[in-house]
Amino acid sequence: MDAEQLREHGHKMVDFIADYYKCIETFPVLSQVEPGYLRKLLPDSAPVQPESLQAVLQDVQTKILPGVTHWQSPDYFAYFPSNSSVAGFLGEMLSAGINMVGFSWITSPAATELEMIVLDWLANLLKLPSDFLSNSPGGGAIQGTASEALLVVLLAARDKVLREVGKDGLGRLVVYGSDQTHSSLQKACQIAGIHPENCKLLKTETCNEYALSPESLTDAISHDVASGLIPLFLCATVGTTSSTAVDPLLALGKITKRYGIWFHVDAAYAGSACICPEYRHHLNGIEEADSFNMNCHKWFLTNFDCSALWIKDRNALIQSLSTNPEYLKNKASQGSTVVDYKDWQIPLGRRFRSLKLWMVLRLYGVENLQAYIRNHINLAKHFEDLVAQDPRFQIVATRTFSLVCFRLVPANKNEDYVNKLNRELLDVVNSSGKIFISHTVLSGKYVLRFVVGAPLTEERHVIEAWKLFQETASTLLENS
């Protein structure tokens, strides 16, 4: 590492990235390249001699950026957002600069201690129960993704029960979610060795806004207990992926307590909104949860990746995930006075991710973060109002946060036709490069998902997007 070279090249790279952001609106939001495009443009082998940064950046501009889908574009409305910010970027930069690997406290005490502090800050902002704080038997840890967070707590829950019933009980363990739970639950079950038939995704109803009903959970558990199965784990969601449904945490939590089931709450996207007092009620009942997760890299201005996980019983995690090889032994760890985050996660190595979350919290401040969330929700509401004014369109699920689920519904057409029409609508708007949205299916209906969440999105982008939907709909309906 040559410090002066870093200074010179670092400045050039920051200029390059700043220019990228300045003209981000000029790129097609959804990359328009064909599969395999890049192999045709790059050489077959690595260069033998060093090349200049200028040559590399030239290739980024002409060969890489065309193959990028611009998640930070103000016209990006797909999936859920993956926020970037100056604060998050600077934190990433600092983390890359220091480049330590903080698996044990001793390997960089600041990394472990800052992570504990910022997760306590965030827990307090979310008004999480005090048994998620680092001065309790629980605590928080940053995972790479919500999927990893879910997997580690499922492993902790599984092993806790298997210690009681014996390893032969694995085939009888049952995991519950709803048919709206993110697919990471199924993946976690596969990895954890849960029998595929015992990962039960309970049916939700349109009339219930796709939330998991406590009655259906009780029925399923009673049936399973009567069949000799062992209810193990429930994953409830605050802000489901398809329609941002909110499962009733308090009622579900009470049921899990009755049966000794581990209760995990996934608020990967919507958790961010709960820092605003007016949205905090969506977490009512969180005191019943054994673990809680939100992705700061989705809607909290923290560059990917940064998934905050809190757990009430850190020992359950540690018992599942700790190893203690000779080459990692040290006085601090042996003295059991420190947290070694290697025992709270799957990999050994871990990045200094708390830096960027700390920078976001400090450089924005709580009031600005709340204003940021409210602005997106207001923009989504504005979009929803526009949709509602056009009788050709229908809002399909009640908007709770910044996602609007809607579809084009011409009169007197059957469901197959309407589904096909909306698929075409999505294809046409996305291939225009002007905006990027995604879809889902709710009760057999193909539904368009419009999520406001990119940091650069302003009202004008939302209005332009709506005009594009209206014009495209007119063309499709004329030609049909």
Q: Could you say which DSSP state residue 34 is in? A: P
Q: Is the CB of residue 443 less than 8 Å from the CB of residue 243?
A: no
Site track 170-209 with ligand PLP (rule: CB under 6 A), x = hit: ------------x-x-------------------------
Give CA separation, 336 vs 104, 331, 340, 341, 468, in Å: 12, 9, 9, 13, 60
Looking at the Cβ atoms of 162 and 265, the one nearer to ligand PLP is 265
Q: Which of 295, 354, 422, 457 is close enough to bind ligand PLP by CB under 6 A?
A: 295
Give the orientation angle of helix 109-125 with respect to helix 354-364, to 10 degrees: 50
Of 263-271, 333-341, 343-351, 466-474, the segment contacting ligand PLP by CB under 6 A is: 263-271
Closest distance to ligand PLP from the beta carbon of 185 (Å): 9
Number of residues that bind ligand PLP (CB under 6 A): 15
Q: Return the residues of window 67-126 that contact ligand PLP according to CB under 6 A.
A: 80
Residue 131: name the closest of 399, 312, 392, 302 by CA.
312
Shortest Cβ distance from residue 237 to ligand PLP (Å)? 5
Residue 302 lies near ligand PLP (rule: CB under 6 A): no
Q: Which is nearer to ligand PLP, 294 or 386 (CB)?
A: 294
Under rule CB under 6 A, residue 400 binds ligand PLP = no
Contact between 291 and ligand PLP by CB under 6 A: the answer reads no
Q: Smallest distance from the beta carbon of 220 to ligand PLP, in angstroms?
A: 21
Of 122, 79, 71, 22, whose CA–CA distance to 455 is shortest? Answer: 71
3-class secondary-structure state, position 232? strand
244 near ligand PLP, judged by CB under 6 A: no
Which residue, 183 or 330, is less far from ligand PLP as judged by CB?
A: 183
Residue 311 pairs in a beta bridge with 139, 291
- Nearest alpha-carbon partner for 150 in 117, 197, 222, 199: 199
Task: Map residue 421 onto helix, strand or coil.
Answer: helix
Distance CA 434, CA 152 (A): 39
Binding part of the chain for ligand PLP, among 208-216, 221-229, 261-269, 339-347 by CB under 6 A, reads 261-269
Asked if 274 touches ligand PLP (CB under 6 A), the answer is no
Among 114, 152, 245, 268, the residue binding ligand PLP under the rule CB under 6 A is 268
Residue 246 interacts with ligand PLP (CB under 6 A)?
A: no
Closest approach of ligand PLP to the CB of residue 144, in Å: 7
Residue tagged 């103000």 (tokens): 74
- Helix, strand, or coil here: 81? coil
378 counts as binding ligand PLP under rule CB under 6 A: no
Going by C-alpha positions, the residue among 125, 106, 105 that lies closest to residue 115 is 105
Note if the bond before 305 is cis, omega within 30 degrees. yes
CA distance 397 to 57: 44
Q: Nearest approach, Cβ of 246 to ligand PLP (angstroms)?
A: 11
Asked if 247 is part of the footprint of ligand PLP (rule: CB under 6 A), the reply reads no
Q: Evaluate whether 368 touches 414 at the Cβ level (below 8 Å).
A: no
Residues near ligand PLP (CB under 6 A) are 80, 145-147, 182, 184, 237, 239-241, 266, 268-269, 295, 307
